[in-house]
Structure 1
């Protein structure tokens, strides 16, 4: 990948991926600990409370962090002032979230969990959001290695707190209260790491000026948050907490996969925020890599959904397997549109990205209202896949209108999607021979087709290996 201010973007991206892999493994451990300690019903109550709180993320996610990242990446003279203003705005938004949570929850017709659970979950979100401006500074500096360091330390503290909580009291309110403490620790860690890299000087812009820049980002983030969480809320309202627990368990491996693709694409933001006439080579290489990797990831999660959920959550969660198999393909679509969404937002086309998200959200809500009463969690999973595919199509149309080579040629898409279809057919055909052999056979066929049509090459593998060696060799310069 390209160099950004003397920092190898490929190297720090690999470091960020490594750090987030560790962090996500710990998050998965946390999920398993919670599921086994709380049981299906308790885990469902926890998932509903945190899912409802996540809907309130539209408030602290008003786009301030994106403004900070872009200002720092561009080297704006007002960068330091933007950071200071952003911190004050974030504090105000966090206070509002905690105050508004119980009123919003009480407004709903059904109350599947006590309001205390919702308040604690909202407090965790609000406190944790205070670390976002500091992480935005690190992202603007392209110091994704330090972002990874901060996140791993924070998740490590959260895991230790969680294990201690369930050892003492296996109940939902204790778990949520401890997670508020862990969120405060995450803020302190991020502040410590980012402090030396915060730009100095520069007049502080008015809150109004920052919010005017932030609103398109914030609206897009809010719609995306609703888009990814509305299915949990509708399931809780229409079929009960037990199905929410199963759906949440099915979604957890898929969510981790989505974060991985988002991490790769998100690292492009500082690069894509700068003017360019033709798509940077790093962007094109990332798109090609995700186009090859996304179907492989979906085939792996689909084929191994049964063993994975049995090992992680136990036999009582076996009803979640069909949901996980369907949801895996929503993660693949997410990987495919992630770099284009980053390019649109970094290139000041965030309003177009917002319009695409609104369309996907409307489709998601309408589809879930129709599908959930008929097929429950599997119906919600199917609607998620359809919505993600519609969003992918919209984003590709928007990116192609720029006329600067962001979208790969049609042949690459045809080869990738055809190979994915053949791989899925192979997976289904080999099912009688067992889940693991079927998955291995499907991946072998898929990879062989990509190599045959040269969608992936030895040079690509060599480049990735080089970034890994650089990441292992030491910390990024900067």
Structure 2
């Protein structure tokens, strides 16, 4: 019996890693296309209009407070069960609930910009772009269904195609109608394509029963009760990530909002890498708890190693060349945001590891304390912003983000250590080793004669590739490598042909 269980666990682990690769490749591609779209928009709009564009999507991002039920244990645990009829009913009810939350989020976003007294352009742009929230919220529910089956390859492909559609429409808008109210429309098309791809696959019964059934009030109540602490905690995390944009919009200028938001385009790469790792590994954590403590620990520590390595590579590649890169991509007027961008990428790296810790707590159902930690982090962030924005504008907001994310990371690690019956689930070794390697490589690229004055693409490649190689050689990637994954694919193909 035990050998069979080990084989199943090994298979699940390999599928989780394969899903991670698919999601990581797609998320990087999506972020790159989104980045290019933002460059085109920033270059085609005035500073004030680009600030309004950034502000509108910043407000919509905050609507996760209302719309994000989170991958609650009650939902994911039922979706990984064996009762196909129950899976179909739970999936359908979850989608309906997310749609209702999306409509509420849309109404709240409109209310925010109206009540806070913004001008007609901002209100109109929010009314149009807010449809993204209505569509994306149930679409994410479909992603959770695929996640429960560890079949995220189709999701990855569909989201890349959707982002490609958005980029093409953005290029067309920039060429023929470079107006604020027109440039928010491509994001809606993106969500429609993504939703269509996932819905079509699920309705055809791809890799499991298709969602069927209507609204189940009792199940909604159970989902919401289970999700209350999770949703509140994640809501505070989302608000912490976006509230500085709102505060800058009220306490400073829209030009400052635009300069600050540029940094988020780089930190988004860290965020998408984190999601690509955490999403499949969360399924693995839920499936292994509480019966397989060793498997649970292995999945958590491997996810931490991969996230730490990816964050270190990103920071080491960007830090030495931020000024040159911003000037090259966005123009000279955005180069002043280089230090802010560096700080936001560092903050996002700490936030990525904190997010993994939160998902570990979710997987074991021990997530009723951490909302207090995220609330404290949010209050710290707001207090620092209120003090720093008048003194340092958007750079002050960047420092506020670094401090609040550092507090949250330490707090979550401590909570995981003291609240779980399994010891050594998260180790400080992986992030500390990754930080030390990244800092060493950054120092080398910025201070070594002959390297510091080399072309910025060379320094960026040296920073990222050098960090990855050193981490891999000293075991910082926990055995994860592209070469290993290619080998697994070849073995699988050989077995199939045999």
Local SS of the residue matching 1:135: helix
Residues 1:363 and 2:380 aligned together: yes
Are 1:127 and 1:183, in contact at CA under 8 Å, matched by a contact in 2?
Answer: yes
What is residue 277 of structure 1 aligned with on the other side?
293
Q: In 2, are the aligned partners of 1:235 and 1:243 still within 8 Å (CA)?
A: yes
Is 1:145 aligned to 2:153, yes or no? Answer: yes
1:262 aligns with 2:278: no
Out of 457, 468, 479, the residue aligned to residue 460 of structure 1 is 479
Residue 100 of structure 1 is matched in structure 2 by: 108
Q: Give the deviation of 1:9 after TM superposition.
A: 1.9
Match of 2:264 among 251, 259, 273: 251
**Does the CA-based 8 Å contact 2:75-2:223 persist in structure 1?**
no
SS at match of 2:369: helix
- After superposition, the Cα gap between the structure-2 partners of 1:157 and 1:4, relative to the gap in structure 1 and judged at 3 Å, is farther
1:337 offset after TM fit, Å? 2.8
Shift of 1:336: 2.9
Contact 1:294–1:332 under 8 Å retained in 2 = yes
Q: Deviation per CA, 1:433-457, whole angstroms, max 9, x where unpaired?
A: 35746656766886687578x3438
Using the TM superposition, name which of 232-241 and 394-403 deviates more: 394-403
Farther-moved stretch of structure 1 (363-372 vs 323-332):
323-332
Q: Report how many aligned residue pairs link the two structures.
A: 473
- Quote the residue 2:183 is aligned against: 175
Partner of 1:429: 447
Q: CA deviation at 1:471?
A: 5.9
CA deviation string 1:252-296 (max 9, x = no partner): 011122211221122201110122323443332232233344233
User: Which moved further from structure 2: 404-413 or 382-391?
Assistant: 404-413
Distance 1:201 1:144, change over 3 A: closer
With over 3 angstroms needed to count, the CA separation of the structure-2 counterparts of 1:124 and 1:411, relative to structure 1, is closer
Which residue is 2:403 aligned to? 386
2:277 match: secondary structure: helix
**Helix, strand or coil at the partner of 1:349:** coil
Question: Retained in 2: the 8 A contact 1:4–1:271?
Answer: no
Q: 1:22 aligns with which of 21, 29, 33?
A: 29
1:202-238, Cα deviation, whole Å (9 max, x unpaired): 9855322222223233223322221111111111111
Structure 1: segments with no counterpart, 5+ residues: none
For residues 30-85 of structure 1, what are the alpha-carbon distances to aligned partners after superposition, in whole Å with 9 as ceiling and x for unaligned? 11121122232221111111111222222221337775433212446632211111
2:476 alignment partner, SS class: coil
Q: Decide whether the 8 Å contact of 1:298 with 1:331 is kept in 2.
A: no
CA distance in 2, matches of 1:51, 1:201: 32
Are 2:407 and 1:397 equivalent residues in the alignment? Answer: no
Encode CA deviations 1:319-365: one digit per residue, 9 max, x unaligned: 21121122221122123333322211122123233232222111111
TM-score normalised by L of structure 1: 0.88
On the 8 A contact 2:87/2:209 being kept in 1, the answer is: yes
| Separation (CA, whole Å) in 1 of partners of 2:400 and 2:293 | 38
Q: In the alignment, is residue 133 of structure 1 matched against residue 141 of structure 2?
A: yes
Whether contact under 8 Å (1:303, 1:435) holds in the other structure is: no
In structure 2, runs of 5+ residues without a counterpart are 1-7
Give 1:389 shift.
1.0
Aligned to 1:55: 62
Separation of aligned partners in 2, 1:310 and 1:473: 46
Shift of 1:460: 2.0
Deviation at 1:176, TM superposition (A): 1.9
Q: Following the alignment from structure 2 to structure 1, what is the Cα–Cα distance between the partners of residues 475 and 426? A: 11
